[in-house]
Structure 1
Amino acid sequence: MKDIPLAKDFANGGVSWWYRQIGLPDRRPALPGPRDYDVAIVGGGYTGLWTAYYLKKADPGLRIAILEKEFAGFGASGRNGGWLSAEFAGSRRRHAKARGRQAMIDLQHAMFRGVDEVIEVTRAEGIDADIHKGGLMHVATNPAQRRRLREEIADLRAWGYGEEDLRLLDRDEQHERVRAAGTLAASYSPHCARIQPAKLAVGLAAVVAALGVDIFENTPVTEIRPRQGGRASALTPRGAVTAEYVIRATEGFTASLTGQHRQWLPMNSSMIVTEPLPAEVWKHLGWSGRELLGDEAHAYIYAQRTADDRIAIGGRGVPYRYGSRTDTRGATQPQTVALLWRMLIKLFPEAADARIQHSWCGVLGVPRDWCSTVHLDHASGLGWAGGYVGSGVTTTNLAGRTLRDLVLRRDTELTTLPWVGRQVRQWEPEPLRWSGVQLIYALFRAADRHENDRGNTTSAYARLANLISGR
Structure 2
Amino acid sequence: MAATGTAPLWWEDRATPGPGDAPDLPAAVDVAVVGGGFTGLWTAYYVLRERPDARVLVLEAEHVGFGASGRNGGWVSALWPVAPDVLAARSGAAATRAHLAALRDTVDEVGRVEETESLGSGFVKGGTLAVARSEAQEARARAAVAAGERWDEGTVWLDAAQARERLAATGTRGATFTPHCARVQPRDLADGLAAAVRRRGGVVAEGVRVGRAGDGVVVLADGRRVTARSVVLATEGWTPRLPGHERAVVPVYSLMVATEPLTAAQWDAVGLAGREVFTDHGHLVVYGQRTVDDRIAFGGRGAPYHLGSAVRPEFDHEEAVFASLRTTLTRMLPALDGVAFTHAWGGPLAIPRDWHPSVVWDPATRTGRAGGYVGDGVAATNLAGRTLADLVLDRSTPLLDLPWVGHRSPSWEPEPLRWLGVNAGLRLARLADREEDRTGRPSRLAPLLARLTGGH
TM-score by length of 1: 0.93
| Alpha carbons 1:222, 1:236 under 8 Å: kept | yes
* Structure 2 residue matching 1:460: 3-state secondary structure: coil
| Partners of 2:96 and 2:20 in 1: CA distance | 40
Given candidates 67, 77, 83, the residue that maps to 1:91 is 83
| Partners of 2:426 and 2:52 in 1: CA distance | 47
1:463 aligned partner, one-letter code? P
* Structure 2 residue matching 1:346: 3-state secondary structure: helix
Q: CA deviation at 1:21?
A: 4.5
CA RMSD of aligned residues (A): 1.8
- Going from structure 1 to structure 2, the CA distance change for 1:234 and 1:375 (only over 3 Å counts) comes to farther
| Alpha carbons 2:208, 2:220 under 8 Å: kept | no
Deviations 1:52-79 (A, max 9, x none): 0000110112111111111111111110
Q: Which residue of 2 aligns with 1:201?
A: 190
| Partners of 1:358 and 1:329 in 2: CA distance | 16
* Structure 1 residue matching 2:434: 3-state secondary structure: helix
Q: Which residue of 2 aligns with 1:464?
A: 448
Q: CA deviation at 1:130?
A: 1.3
Given candidates 438, 448, 452, the residue that maps to 1:453 is 438
Unaligned runs of 5+ in 1: none
Deviates more, 1:461-470 or 1:64-73: 461-470
Equivalent residues in 2 for 1:380-419 (5 A)?
Answer: 380-419=365-404
Deviations 1:121-142 (A, max 9, x none): 0110111111111111001111
Q: Which residue of 2 aligns with 1:237?
A: 222
Q: Which residue of 2 aligns with 1:318?
A: 303
Equivalent residues in 2 for 1:247-266 (5 A)?
Answer: 247-266=232-251
* Structure 2 residue matching 1:169: 3-state secondary structure: strand
- Going from structure 1 to structure 2, the CA distance change for 1:258 and 1:34 (only over 3 Å counts) comes to farther
| Alpha carbons 1:222, 1:256 under 8 Å: kept | no
| Partners of 1:282 and 1:49 in 2: CA distance | 35
* Structure 1 residue matching 2:350: 3-state secondary structure: strand
Q: Which residue of 2 aligns with 1:214?
A: 203
2:171 pairs with 1:168: no
Given candidates 422, 436, 445, the residue that maps to 2:407 is 422
| Alpha carbons 1:135, 1:291 under 8 Å: kept | yes
* Structure 2 residue matching 1:290: 3-state secondary structure: coil
| Partners of 1:242 and 1:62 in 2: CA distance | 14
Given candidates 418, 430, 435, the residue that maps to 2:420 is 435
Deviations 1:331-385 (A, max 9, x none): 4111111000111111111202111101000111111100111121111221101
Unaligned runs of 5+ in 2: none
| Partners of 2:21 and 2:361 in 1: CA distance | 29
Deviates more, 1:215-224 or 1:445-454: 215-224
- Going from structure 1 to structure 2, the CA distance change for 1:390 and 1:432 (only over 3 Å counts) comes to same
Q: Which residue of 2 aligns with 1:135?
A: 127
2:179 aligned partner, one-letter code? P
Q: CA deviation at 1:259?
A: 1.4
TM-score by length of 2: 0.96
Given candidates 2, 8, 13, the residue that maps to 1:6 is 2
Deviates more, 1:167-176 or 1:18-27: 18-27
Percent identical across equivalent pairs? 43
Equivalent residues in 2 for 1:73-88 (5 A)?
Answer: 73-88=65-80
Q: CA deviation at 1:279?
A: 2.5
| Partners of 2:79 and 2:219 in 1: CA distance | 32
Number of residue pairs aligned between Structure 1 and Structure 2: 455
Given candidates 327, 334, 349, the residue that maps to 1:364 is 349
1:112 aligned partner, one-letter code? R
| Partners of 1:334 and 1:362 in 2: CA distance | 14
Deviates more, 1:21-30 or 1:341-350: 21-30
- Deviating beyond 6 angstroms after TM superposition, the runs of 4 or more aligned structure 1 residues are 26-29
Q: Which residue of 1 aligns with 2:138?
A: 146
| Partners of 1:115 and 1:25 in 2: CA distance | 30
Deviations 1:408-459 (A, max 9, x none): 22221111001100002110111111111111111111100111111422x2
Q: Which residue of 1 aligns with 2:180?
A: 191
Deviates more, 1:252-261 or 1:322-331: 322-331
| Partners of 2:276 and 2:218 in 1: CA distance | 44
